[in-house]
Structure 1
Amino acid sequence: MKMAPTLALLLLCQVTLYTTVTSKTVCGRPPITDGIDETTLKRVYEVGEGVTLTCERGYLPSTTAPRRITCTGTGEWTQSNLACSPKMCAIPRPLQPLAMGRTEAPYKSVLNYTCDDGYVMQGANESKCLHDGTWSNPPPLCKAVNCPLPTPPRDGRIVHDKPVTGRTIMYGQSWTYECDRPKAPSHERGSCRADGTATEPPVCREVRCSIPPSIPNGVITFAVMRPHGYKEKVKYACNEHYVMDGEAELQCQNTGNWSSKPVCRAPCTVGIKRGRIFYNARKLWIADLKPNRVLHGEHVAFYCLNKAERCGYPVVSTCNDGTLPIPECFEEPGKVEYNLRPKTLPSEITMCASPTASPVNPN
């Protein structure tokens, strides 16, 4: 029975002690903004304890407001409007157009340098804005690449695109390799490359192309049907009313193959029996198109009806190798309408004020 008061007193003391310790007010680390030096700040401060805020290296105070703050009894810090702005490095004038008109860059900024193809960098490819407002490295120089003079092929020579002086040539300069006839170079062109090396010389060897190939709807003109040597040529022509697509001349290449042969594109027939068209700057009835022939690549306009506005409009179609698409909007008139009421056809009534259809795509 004597133990109860003692136990109650002990519990009371523990509660009192706990209350005293936990009710004590402190302040945590002060809130800081970018650029404020936090290396000297503590995690916890007592009430009444003060701190003078400073800017870290590379930053400048942008305000003269009070820098010293104090921990108050409410656990909050007094107000400070200190803000730190980074020091600036002047962007080199030649680089300002690339910096979108900016003339300065903030502390810790990095400039990365590259040279165009055909130029070699002399200096550092990177520069950092330092805390004192200077750059860690000056802008590098980009020096043009030079190549040694190219070596001509055995049994051949080099023909430069531009006159060459001295013992080097600049990046991008090019030339042609030629071999003593009837030999051909394994590759015909060379150049000074971005890595400072010139194209290796070709091998000169004899080349023959097979008998020239024939083409549909065309003929070979002024040529003997035999194998041909390097750079020999043959010429083609298309049959009447066919249009040539490609080069008329073929040349025997250094690979032993002919250059691409042309194609003779077929004419088209306008596939309507009744109606009016616009062709070769003339508006004419289909019966008056004699012969009914349109060459490859030529345009024909068909007349369609805008039923809402009761007006006509032309839709262009193009002859493509024997095919002339008829516009979907075109309606061929019947015999009675065509013969007795031709003035009511879309080609004869008022034309629409604005186009209402797109040209027909022959593909």
Structure 2
Amino acid sequence: MAPTLALLLLCQVALYTTVTSKKVCGRPPVPDGIDVSTLKRVYEVGEEVTLTCEQGYLPSAAATHRITCTAAAEWTPSNLACSPKMCPIPRALQPLAMGRTEAPFKSVLNYTCDDGYVIQGANESRCLHDGTWSHPPPLCKAVNCPLPKAPTDGQIVHDKPVTGTTTMYGQGWTYECNRPKAPSYERGSCMADGTVTEPPVCREVSCPIPTNIPNGFITFAVMRLHGYKETVKYGCNEHYALDGKAEIQCQNTGSWSAKPICRAPCTVGIKRGRIFYNGRKIWISDLKPNRVLHGEHVAFYCLNKTERCGYPVVSTCNDGTLPIPECFEEPGKVEYSLRAKTLPSEITMCVAAPPAVPSALPRPA
């Protein structure tokens, strides 16, 4: 049995050698976009193949389409490149496409609507092989809500005129109660889920006796409890600036709206030098009284030591505080008295202020 088995194995090896010794070409390697559906796994030497682009792709110009299996079992080269067809992006979507105006074949656009809007049409569109989209852009239609109900002992004032029996998402209104009652909340709207705000409760509300504000006064008010939407007006003492609304109102919560604040004036904190204030240059000794109102601007003059020129730096009075710019150097008595024309405010002004020094770095001595 052993010699017979050895002979059989030798025959199989010889047969295998005979079959596989012939050179052939495998399936040609091709880039994306080339149609591989008609390509075989094995080709004989001398066989030719015509390469074509898949549906939805365009061939490059003047490209070699035919390739041949050579005696070395290699394919002749081809410079065929297939690029996808492009679909024009709808103009309304181009700002969202980062400036692109086209999308390649097989691209997908997914559409969604903002809260309070429902989509009408397909929420997805694909770029087809012929350069068109499978679906047009859908529309986003605002949700409709039923008209709101008025509160008991009250009425509704709509922000915009309403016709019909519905209102659109985002539209709002104000609830009002018959005096002297106040609504538990004042605003309502058509919400994203298609519902409207429930009507508030009308109840009697009063605000406490109004009080004065620091450095200010009540212009006129009877010292009593005040009803809903009654008002009180404030003013400030001389040279103090009113910050906020002068008039406060009794709210539906039984509290007053925010009171204004009287902001203090500032003193220009230098003894020697010249400033720019109220449209003109002023020596500090001529600023009488030494007072700048809250919110007013004062320019101090600094020296650009490299260019030997002066430049203004603006500071603003903020409730009694007027910061002095770090670059400002107050002159000594002799310099101020005898060499005033050499001060930064009097020499040639710089074309531009020097670049700011980072706060982390120490100032030069």
Same fold (TM over 0.5): yes
**Secondary structure, aligned partner of 2:336:** helix
1:342/1:348 contact within 8 Å kept: yes
Q: 1:321 aligns with which of 316, 319, 322?
A: 319
Match of 2:272 in 1: 274
In the alignment, the residues of structure 2 paired with residue 94 and residue 35 of structure 1 have an alpha-carbon distance, to the nearest angstrom, of 30
Query: How does 1:167-246 map onto structure 2 within 5 Å?
Result: 167-246=165-244
Match of 2:76 in 1: 78
Q: Label 1:155 to 1:329 Cα distance change in 2 as closer, same or farther (>3 A).
A: same
Q: Label 1:61 to 1:207 Cα distance change in 2 as closer, same or farther (>3 A).
A: same
In the alignment, the residues of structure 2 paired with residue 89 and residue 168 of structure 1 have an alpha-carbon distance, to the nearest angstrom, of 40
Q: 1:44 aligns with which of 42, 45, 48?
A: 42
**Secondary structure, aligned partner of 2:251:** coil
Whichever residue aligns with residue 27 of structure 2, its letter is R
In the alignment, the residues of structure 2 paired with residue 344 and residue 357 of structure 1 have an alpha-carbon distance, to the nearest angstrom, of 23
After superposition, give the CA deviation of every residue in 1:23-62 in whole Å (9 maximum; x if it has no partner): 5422221122323232343433343445454444444666
Aligned-pair CA distance for 1:72: 2.1
In the alignment, the residues of structure 2 paired with residue 296 and residue 88 of structure 1 have an alpha-carbon distance, to the nearest angstrom, of 62
After superposition, give the CA deviation of every residue in 1:133-178 in whole Å (9 maximum; x if it has no partner): 6543344343343322111112211011222222222333321110
1:179/1:185 contact within 8 Å kept: yes
Whichever residue aligns with residue 296 of structure 2, its letter is E
Aligned Cα RMSD in Å? 3.7
In the alignment, the residues of structure 2 paired with residue 317 and residue 91 of structure 1 have an alpha-carbon distance, to the nearest angstrom, of 52
Match of 2:124 in 1: 126
In the alignment, the residues of structure 2 paired with residue 274 and residue 100 of structure 1 have an alpha-carbon distance, to the nearest angstrom, of 57
Q: Label 1:135 to 1:293 Cα distance change in 2 as closer, same or farther (>3 A).
A: closer
Whichever residue aligns with residue 202 of structure 2, its letter is C
Aligned-pair CA distance for 1:243: 0.8
User: Runs of 5+ in structure 2 lacking a partner?
Assistant: 1-9, 357-365
Whichever residue aligns with residue 147 of structure 1, its letter is C
Match of 2:303 in 1: 305
**Secondary structure, aligned partner of 1:338:** helix
**Secondary structure, aligned partner of 2:320:** coil
Match of 2:263 in 1: 265
1:63/1:81 contact within 8 Å kept: no
Aligned-pair CA distance for 1:299: 1.9
In the alignment, the residues of structure 1 paired with residue 84 and residue 345 of structure 2 have an alpha-carbon distance, to the nearest angstrom, of 76
The reply on whether 1:285 has 2:321 as its aligned counterpart is no
In the alignment, the residues of structure 1 paired with residue 235 and residue 355 of structure 2 have an alpha-carbon distance, to the nearest angstrom, of 38
Q: Label 1:321 to 1:36 Cα distance change in 2 as closer, same or farther (>3 A).
A: same
In the alignment, the residues of structure 2 paired with residue 138 and residue 329 of structure 1 have an alpha-carbon distance, to the nearest angstrom, of 63
Q: Label 1:308 to 1:130 Cα distance change in 2 as closer, same or farther (>3 A).
A: closer
Match of 1:6 in 2: none
Whichever residue aligns with residue 144 of structure 2, its letter is N
In the alignment, the residues of structure 2 paired with residue 91 and residue 130 of structure 1 have an alpha-carbon distance, to the nearest angstrom, of 13
Match of 2:6 in 1: none
Which has the higher mean CA deviation after the structures are superposed, 75-84 or 58-67?
58-67
After superposition, give the CA deviation of every residue in 1:228-260 in whole Å (9 maximum; x if it has no partner): 222121111112111111111111212222211
In the alignment, the residues of structure 2 paired with residue 78 and residue 183 of structure 1 have an alpha-carbon distance, to the nearest angstrom, of 93
